[in-house]
Structure 1
Amino acid sequence: MGIEPSPTLSLGVLQDAWHHGLRLRLRSEALLPRAAPSEDSDPDDAAVSGAVPLYGHDTEPFVAADPAPVCVEWRVWEFGEQGEGGTAGVLVASGEAYTTGDIDYTVKVEATGLQPFTTYNYQFNVCGSDAKSPLGRTKTAPEKDADVSEIKLAVFSCSNYPNGYFNPYGNAARRDEHDYVVHLGDYMYEYEAGGERASKPQAEIFTLHDYRTRHGQYRTDADLQLLSQNYAWIPTWDDHEISNNGYRDGSSGLNNTEESFRNDGPGISVDQRKMNAVRAYFEWLPIRQVDLDDNLRIWRSFQLGNLVDLIILDTRNYDRSITSLGWNDDYIDLIRNDAGRTLMGSHQENWFYNQLTASSERGATWRLVGNQIIFSTIKESYGLSGDNWNGYIANRNRTLKHLYDNKIDNTVFLAGDSHQNWVSDLAWLGEKPYDPATGEGAIGVEFAGTAVSSSGVRGTIASAREAARQRVENNTELLWNEGYYRGYFLLVAARDRLEARFHGSPSVAARQGWDLPLANFTVLAGANRVSRPLAGGAVVAGWLKEGETTPSNVSLDTETGVWDVVGFEQMYLNTSA
């Protein structure tokens, strides 16, 4: 589910309910159910274009193919303990919606008249029947000028279904510490993989039906269902929702040439594949379509009271200059400093700078920038390539210049993509003075999270710690790195400080609820750097600059609330076909 910055919050559940042969799959940003007469997605591969809502009912030529639309009722109650009959509290909103195979039996409904920053229950059912979803819970956003004392965000990225179970989702849901979920992309993966949770369809995906089917498979994970049922989501895509290492004109496996069209895919162009993926994303993901005149736009912002402005970017698919494709790295090295290279395109980039300025001028305490890829300067020999901000140095410099020139404080970049944890001060190295010992001279901070289940540093905890040591000791602004554990991080924003609490899952090879706290970091308001001593002087895993690593496997069983010593020999599933 997802949110918008107003009391007209959308809600949703992500669960399967089997009644009378009808699958009712529910999720949301806008009361967003899926009610399908079978488990399969609609095979229609038509994609809309222009100003037609991707999740609307305006593709008339295809509605005729489904003569029996499904009616879905929705209800919203004041939050309370679940009572007799499966409802809770006083009914505050309700309605009906219809869906067809044209939009893969998804529904998005705006529930209006709700109070800001308020928790509600909600539920869907098939009209005139007992086929209903479990009772869901969600929370509306605060009004933009509300005096909010604290906002908590659980931040995720990179959930690979064949690679492992989505245990971090379940751990966060059961810990129940956050207001909203932020997902920074790679919510699903487009390539083929085998094993216990083999990908469906069993091939790399290109068509609209392919993408719909893959989204549907991911929704069967019980912990994804749990987290979606009970929290509002703010998602964005990375590259794998469409294709690996995407950019304006292609990706690592497909580009806009006749040879690529004929040989690299099933006769589908880059643009058509992108539209197929985007349409399925807007159908299945809990998100409003941002701009009816710009179907590819996902960048947007949220004003969460006067405490937090959350700015969501698309540094992958919107208007990105060519990136590392696996065979052109020497070329990317030659052009990485070109002034014309952009991660976002001029339209989005100018909007981004205006958002930063407007946020500062309106007096919001914190500016959180949710983007897909690592912003800080990391030498490529230590695990990153030109596929991140390192390959777009002029774009990074323009961003830093805007922050320094306009004296914009309290900016925190959030990132995923790398499948590792990173904490850095943000400084304009070589242009502005910066003291890595104290953080003096920095203009902001970056917190980048590990993956939910995608692979990180292979090997042992000790070998991962050694790799982290080399990264931290050889990168000026990098303060902590950890690549062994899968997990997420919790951001707690208050008036005087922002805290980042990193959580690890010791294994995703089987479904389990163990959660290992890894490290906590603090940023004081106005300081623009991570507070020293870093992480209180010690972390559980990885390598900390000027600090200690004190390994521990004392973990919380989020299913029982019991702490215990646990160990797992296998981190990931075997994905061989």
Structure 2
Amino acid sequence: MARGLHLCLAFAGIASAAFTGNLNYDSPSKHHASLGISISKVAKRTYGSSPQDPNQLNFTHGIASGDPYDDSVILWTRAAPSSDNNESNVTVSGYVPLYDHSTEQYVAKSNSPICVDWKISTSKSFDHVINSGRAYTSSDIDYTIKANMLALENSQRYTNGHYQFNVCNSNNSSPIGRTKTIPSSNDKVSEPVRLAVYSCSNYPFGFFNAYGNPVRKDSVDYVIHLGDYIYEYANGEYGWGNSYDRIPLPDREILTLYDYRKRIATYRTDLDLLASHQNFPWIAVWDDHEVADNTWRSGSSHMNNTEESFIMDGGVSVDQRKMNAVRAYFEWMPIRQVDMDDNLRIWRKFKFGNLFDLVMLDTRQYDRAITDVYWNTEYLGEIYNDASRTLMGPRQEAWFYRTLRESSTRGATWRVIDLPYNYDQWDGYQANRNRTFHVIYENNIGNNVFLAGDSHASWVSDLVWLDEHPYDSATGSGSMGVEFAGSAVSSPSPAGQNVTLDAAMSYSERLTAANAELQWQELYYRGYYELYISHEKVDASFFGIPTTTVRNGYEIPLANFTVLAGENKLHRTNGSPAVGNIETGSIKGGTPTHSNLTYDTETKTWFTYTGL
């Protein structure tokens, strides 16, 4: 009897250990079991059952990699018997029996374990496998798999690797992906690092062509996503998906865990998004729409912590909705949870050798003071300069300022920082902005490149503490860095979905005239930008997508800019902040060409775009 008990316990331990290879069982918090998933319960439920038939499983939503370190990278996939998502809105808890998936009354469970192997190689043929591992998944985490590919040899770091998943003991394999780590913090980086920067992809507004173009060009090493990866609205509330057979599912405003899982899964059916995830490691943060419109620490534009809001939204509180959204995001995105004692933390940094430090901030969900939720705009105009106003919360702010100082002290050439700009964001939190500028100016921290999304518009600016330090708009003197903002992948222009090019130009001209530091502004095109970072300079290239109504590989080069190391401003040539001509938009010291010269990234040919 005792021997049988010991064997049973031993097998249970082995079964539990098999699930620990999947990081999604740790989410949202490995160190707080009541918030996470009880792996022992999952193992107990599936122990003794035959594995799921490999022929009944599919890699339903492609593969992905992300959050690269110098010695590891996150690998992601989903191996499931159905493309649909787990309809449970609860989780397995170590403390609350009601949430146990074995309680049929509450949720359908998966009894058969799903086993997936992964491998990575220096070649696409996998002749030399440099690392491999095994992970299990189940309905509890929506059949997702997230593995931390560890311990690459020094000679194999910072090189492209090819990876693949395979259902255990079968020929059922995923597509082959490509990924890479980043240089070690002390490495002397000699080659430029290439980044594609995105934000704001709205499924019913059209195809995500912008995601696929760098894949077809093979023009970048990593993808940076600044947020609004999904939108929470029902079809027709913000975009009409019937026009393109792109109805966001479930077709309602999303609130529950199932809703957020299904919405991300729907976005992952876009072929260009799938291609980008498959070919480049992503570094992503959320903005507001991953949860709801204009979120802050205690609410959003449509929800707040009141009884009226709770009843109106079907018995879902602000905190519960945020937990559902965060849980689904961590399950589906190839990102690390950098602080297992803080399940809402997504802010983190990446050291690309001695070349640059990438700082990714959360200015929405973590601890943001009240924002513009449409009915309080006048009130916010009165309090925007209050000392307590913060985008980040005191803990993240302190970490950010310490990170800036440490980056400069350690000798990284550049600091690349995800920090947005507009009244809803940076300008509506004047005290937070002043504290940031104070750290930069008082510590003489130069070579700062700020990245922004969210505005659905492209613009380029010198980074200036106006009214505190003198600034010459013509030369850039007085600036302490630059700010690059990209348009949306598909979300409409703030000037209107159907704005004409002439009207967009008129709006842009007014904006550049009203803002001394704003050097270029463009409202018409959807698109993205690429950064090429070397010790000597940062080059920025902006691309416009001529249409999102059909899937294609077209893009129009809009403008190019350069920042020379040590200049702390946009480099001027003959009085213009741009390199060469610009295609469209309003620019100080220059005029646009409006050539419509378009590159087809699929056929590698140039042509003049005249519409479809």
Same fold per TM (> 0.5)?
A: yes
Is the CA contact 1:167–1:511 (under 8 Å) kept in the aligned structure 2? Answer: yes
Q: Structure 1 CA distance, aligned partners of 2:579 and 2:149?
A: 44
Q: Does 1:156 align with 2:198?
A: yes
Residue 101 of structure 1 corresponds to which residue in structure 2? 139
Q: Structure 2 CA distance, aligned partners of 1:219 and 1:63?
A: 30
Q: Structure 2 CA distance, aligned partners of 1:531 and 1:435?
A: 13
Displacement of 1:568: 2.3
Which of 52, 58, 83 is the matching residue for 1:39? 83
Equivalent runs, 1:288-327 vs 2, <5 Å: 288-327=336-375
SS of 1:215's partner is helix
Residue 590 of structure 2 corresponds to which residue in structure 1? 547
Q: Structure 2 CA distance, aligned partners of 1:117 and 1:437?
A: 40
Q: Structure 2 CA distance, aligned partners of 1:422 and 1:462?
A: 17
Residue 483 of structure 2 corresponds to which residue in structure 1? 446
Residue 552 of structure 2 corresponds to which residue in structure 1? 512
Is the CA contact 1:47–1:276 (under 8 Å) kept in the aligned structure 2? Answer: no
Residue 505 of structure 2 corresponds to which residue in structure 1? 465
Q: 1:49 to 1:148 in 2, by over 3 A?
A: farther
Is the CA contact 1:158–1:185 (under 8 Å) kept in the aligned structure 2? Answer: yes
Structure 2 letter corresponding to 1:104: D
Q: Structure 1 CA distance, aligned partners of 2:373 and 2:483?
A: 26
Q: 1:465 to 1:47 in 2, by over 3 A?
A: farther
Displacement of 1:175: 1.2
1:47-83 residue CA offsets vs partner (Å, 9 max, x unmatched): 58999xxxxxxx993378321121111111113xx4x
Q: Does 1:400 align with 2:437?
A: yes
Identity across matched positions, percent: 52
Equivalent runs, 1:199-218 vs 2, <5 Å: 199-218=248-267
Displacement of 1:199: 1.1
Displacement of 1:476: 1.2
Q: 1:335 to 1:48 in 2, by over 3 A?
A: farther
Residue 342 of structure 1 corresponds to which residue in structure 2? 390
Structure 2 letter corresponding to 1:312: M
Residue 281 of structure 2 corresponds to which residue in structure 1? 232
Displacement of 1:466: 1.3
Q: Structure 1 CA distance, aligned partners of 2:116 and 2:602?
A: 33
Residue 521 of structure 2 corresponds to which residue in structure 1? 481
Unaligned runs of 5+ in 1: 1-9, 11-17, 52-58, 375-383, 570-577
Is the CA contact 1:28–1:108 (under 8 Å) kept in the aligned structure 2? Answer: no
Residue 563 of structure 1 corresponds to which residue in structure 2? 606
Structure 1 letter corresponding to 2:353: G
Q: Structure 2 CA distance, aligned partners of 1:299 and 1:95?
A: 28
Structure 2 letter corresponding to 1:121: H
Q: Structure 2 CA distance, aligned partners of 1:148 and 1:439?
A: 28
Aligned-residue RMSD, C-alpha: 1.9
Structure 2 letter corresponding to 1:192: A
1:182-204 residue CA offsets vs partner (Å, 9 max, x unmatched): 00000000111242211100000
Q: 1:47 to 1:278 in 2, by over 3 A?
A: farther
Q: Does 1:67 align with 2:107?
A: no
1:363-418 residue CA offsets vs partner (Å, 9 max, x unmatched): 000000013x21xxxxxxxxx5x311111011101100110000000011101000
Displacement of 1:266: 1.5
Equivalent runs, 1:328-339 vs 2, <5 Å: 328-339=376-387
Q: Structure 1 CA distance, aligned partners of 2:318 and 2:57?
A: 35
Which of 11, 17, 22 is the matching residue for 2:57? 22
1:256-282 residue CA offsets vs partner (Å, 9 max, x unmatched): 11111112x111000000000000000
Q: Structure 2 CA distance, aligned partners of 1:565 and 1:551?
A: 11
Q: Structure 2 CA distance, aligned partners of 1:495 and 1:48?
A: 49
Q: Structure 1 CA distance, aligned partners of 2:195 and 2:113?
A: 37
Task: Say which one has the larger Rg.
Answer: 2
SS of 1:548's partner is coil
Q: 1:63 to 1:530 in 2, by over 3 A?
A: farther
SS of 2:149's partner is coil
Is the CA contact 1:520–1:535 (under 8 Å) kept in the aligned structure 2? Answer: yes
Which of 562, 565, 578 is the matching residue for 1:525? 565
Displacement of 1:489: 0.5
Structure 2 letter corresponding to 1:219: R
Q: Structure 2 CA distance, aligned partners of 1:208 and 1:395?
A: 33
Equivalent runs, 1:117-516 vs 2, <5 Å: 117-149=158-190, 150-193=192-235, 194-195=241-242, 196-263=245-312, 265-371=313-419, 373-374=420-421, 384=422, 386-456=423-493, 457-458=495-496, 459-516=499-556
Displacement of 1:21: 4.2
SS of 1:250's partner is coil
Residue 90 of structure 1 corresponds to which residue in structure 2? 128
Structure 1 letter corresponding to 2:300: S
Is the CA contact 1:50–1:295 (under 8 Å) kept in the aligned structure 2? Answer: no
Higher-RCO chain (CA-CA 8 Å, sequence separation at least 6): 1
Structure 2 letter corresponding to 1:22: L
1:491-534 residue CA offsets vs partner (Å, 9 max, x unmatched): 11111111111011100011010111110000110111001131
Structure 1 letter corresponding to 2:101: F
Displacement of 1:462: 1.8
Q: 1:161 to 1:408 in 2, by over 3 A?
A: same
Deviates more, 1:215-224 or 1:115-124: 115-124
Is the CA contact 1:22–1:38 (under 8 Å) kept in the aligned structure 2? Answer: yes
Question: Taking structure 1 as the reference length, what is the TM-score of the superposition?
Answer: 0.89
Q: Structure 2 CA distance, aligned partners of 1:240 and 1:89?
A: 43
**Between structures 1 and 2, the one with greater helix share:** 2
Deviates more, 1:33-42 or 1:350-359: 33-42
Is the CA contact 1:540–1:549 (under 8 Å) kept in the aligned structure 2? Answer: yes
Displacement of 1:556: 0.9
Structure 1 letter corresponding to 2:467: G
Q: Structure 2 CA distance, aligned partners of 1:163 and 1:174?
A: 22
SS of 1:536's partner is coil
Is the CA contact 1:50–1:293 (under 8 Å) kept in the aligned structure 2? Answer: no
Q: Structure 1 CA distance, aligned partners of 2:355 and 2:86?
A: 43
Is the CA contact 2:65–2:280 (under 8 Å) kept in the aligned structure 1? Answer: no
Structure 1 letter corresponding to 2:585: G
Segments ≥4 residues shifted beyond 4 Å: 47-51
Unaligned runs of 5+ in 2: 1-22, 24-52, 67-73, 104-108, 236-240
